[in-house]
């Protein structure tokens, strides 16, 4: 079968793209976090950013309560999170789109999408740009582990690499699905030049801090391997869990005060994620952010994507000539039955 169809045909790519990866903590409310997003876009645009990337579910913030409390203790937290989530065509995303048009930038924003058909949610990225070529909104295909207590599965309509005027060919997968071979192939076969990987600040898997999930290593492995395979640049953009956000998560993480210390210990023992960049050879490029708020910067030359393809192009001769592998992905969006 032919490779997946992108949103447009390849164009003459800009030689240099300045990327701002926002290593930030969300604030306690959707309104204040939205204001922080708009202010950050202004700051990055003023410093000549072409592409501005925010972490996973940054609006209203990544839900940590199902990781630090039992499901029977978090009914109120779930309801509150649903109310804080936003509609893809709602006023909050509309403000982000307008800001992008005003500043002439491309923005990738992770947000928790509220559904008009159900309380269940998936979280696509709202990618808004100044030029007229449409960007898709990829949804998280399958929520992982305790995320299933908050979000519904997504669909494949966003498995598309978009061709932009100012940032080249851009694709994205959310968090752990960057380990999914089929999802990776669906995008890599469309020749991305920049691939976006948004992540949460922490991802607790156990109470034991010595055997907890290592965000830094896991995300670096994903980022470097994808960059090397696709011969593209990768942006690993993670949120930050600062002291104020952690304290708020502990207080709001469950309905019973007696579990407060246990919740705190889980979050303190969870490894913080890092915001970083990788080049087409799998090596580190640009700046890195860890442990404090700020923007990590990288100025990338998209021409570097070509050199590696001359040596090892995984999606054409000779690598695909020995064995033919047929691939099919559904990109149909599914709504409620009418």
Which pLDDT belongs to residue 237? Answer: 97
pLDDT band for 14, please (50, 70, 90 cuts).
low
> What average pLDDT does range 137-154 have in this prediction?
86
Note the pLDDT of residue 1: 40
pLDDT higher than 70, residue 223: yes
CB contact at 8 A, 127 and 162: yes
**Residue 253 near residue 64 (C-beta atoms within 8 A):** yes
Q: Look at 9-13, 75-79, 164-168 and tell me which has the smallest mean pLDDT.
A: 9-13
pLDDT at 157: 81
Question: What pLDDT was estimated at residue 125?
Answer: 43
Cβ-based burial of 192 (10 A; exposed 0-12, middle 13-18, buried ≥19): buried
62-93 in b/e burial notation, b at 16+ Cβ within 10 A?
A: bbbbbbbbeeebbeebbeebbebbbeeeeebb
CA-to-CA distance for 183 and 310, rounded, in angstroms? 24
Start-to-end CA distance of the chain, whole Å, equals 32
Ramachandran quadrant class, 233 (left: phi over 0; alpha: psi -120 to 50; beta: rest):
beta
Name the burial class of residue 110, with classes exposed (0-12), middle (13-18) and buried (19+) by CB atoms within 10 angstroms of its CB.
Answer: buried
Question: What average pLDDT does the segment 121-137 reach?
Answer: 49
Kindly state the average pLDDT of the residues 189-209: 92
Residues 239 and 205: their CA atoms lie apart, in Å, by 18
pLDDT at position 179 over 80: yes
Place 250 in a pLDDT band, splitting at 50, 70 and 90.
confident
127 or 303: which leads in pLDDT: 303
Per the model's pLDDT, the better-predicted residue between 14 and 233 turns out to be 233
Closest listed residue to residue 54, CA positions, set 63, 67, 44: 44
- Between helices 260-269 and 243-252, what is the axis angle to 10°? 140
Pick from 155, 151, 265, 144: which is nearest to 199 by CA? 144
pLDDT in tens, 259-301: 888 888 889 889 999 999 999 999 999 999 999 999 999 999 9
pLDDT at position 211 is: 83
The token pair that represents 35 in the structure block:
């204001």
Q: What are the residue ranges of helices labelled H in 122-258? A: 181-188, 215-230, 243-252
Contact 296, 21 (CB under 8 A): yes
pLDDT for residue 253 is more than 70: no
Helix (H, G, I), strand (E, B) or coil at 272: coil
pLDDT over 70 at 122, yes or no = no
Query: What pLDDT does residue 295 have?
Result: 98
Please answer whether residues 112 and 85 qualify as being in contact, where contact means their C-beta atoms are separated by less than 8 angstroms. Answer: yes
Per-residue pLDDT, 333? 73
What does the DSSP 8-state code read for residue 267?
H
Give the ranges where 12-62 is alpha helix by DSSP (H): 30-46
Distance CA 37, CA 24 (A): 10
Q: What is the pLDDT of residue 331?
A: 75
Amino acid 327: pLDDT: 61
pLDDT at res. 277: 98
Q: Which residue has the higher pLDDT, 171 or 11?
A: 171
The alpha carbon of residue 108 and the mean position of all alpha carbons in its chain are separated, in whole angstroms, by: 8
Residue-wise pLDDT for 299-334, tens only, equals 999 999 987 777 766 665 445 544 555 666 777 776
Decide the pairing of beta strands 106-110 and 284-289.
Answer: unpaired
Are 107 and 127 in contact by the 8 Å Cβ rule? The answer is: yes
Q: Does the pLDDT of residue 144 top 80, yes or no?
A: yes
């Amino acid at each position: 079968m032919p490779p997946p169809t992108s949103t447009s045909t390849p164009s003459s790519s800009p030689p240099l793209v300045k990327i701002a990866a926002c290593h930030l903590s969300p604030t306690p409310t959707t309104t204040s976090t939205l204001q922080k997003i708009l202010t950050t876009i202004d700051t990055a645009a003023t410093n000549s950013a072409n592409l501005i990337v925010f972490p996973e579910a940054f609006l209203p913030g990544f839900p940590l309560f199902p990781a630090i409390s039992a499901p029977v203790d978090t009914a109120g937290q779930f309801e509150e999170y649903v109310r804080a989530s936003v509609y893809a065509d709602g006023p909050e995303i509309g403000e982000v789109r307008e800001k992008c048009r005003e500043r002439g930038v491309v923005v990738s924003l992770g947000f928790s999408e509220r559904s008009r058909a159900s309380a269940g949610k998936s979280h696509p990225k709202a990618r808004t740009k100044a030029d007229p070529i449409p960007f898709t909104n990829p949804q998280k295909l399958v929520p992982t582990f305790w995320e299933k207590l908050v979000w519904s599965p997504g669909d494949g309509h966003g498995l598309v690499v978009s061709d932009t005027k100012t940032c080249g060919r851009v694709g994205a997968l959310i968090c752990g699905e960057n380990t999914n071979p089929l999802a990776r192939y669906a995008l890599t076969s469309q020749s991305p030049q920049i691939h976006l990987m948004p992540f949460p600040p922490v991802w607790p898997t156990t109470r034991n801090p010595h055997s907890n999930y290592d965000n830094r290593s896991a995300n670096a492995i994903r980022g470097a391997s994808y960059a090397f395979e696709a011969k593209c640049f990768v942006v690993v953009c993670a949120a930050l869990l600062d002291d104020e956000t952690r304290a708020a998560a502990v207080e709001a993480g469950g309905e019973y005060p007696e579990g407060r210390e246990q919740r705190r210990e889980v979050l303190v023992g969870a490894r913080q994620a890092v915001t970083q960049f990788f080049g087409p050879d799998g090596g580190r490029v640009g700046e890195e952010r860890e442990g404090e708020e700020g923007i990590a910067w990288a100025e990338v030359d998209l021409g570097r994507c070509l050199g590696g393809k001359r040596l090892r192009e995984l999606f054409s001769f000779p690598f695909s000539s020995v064995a033919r592998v047929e691939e099919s992905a559904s990109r149909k969006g599914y709504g409620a039955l009418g």
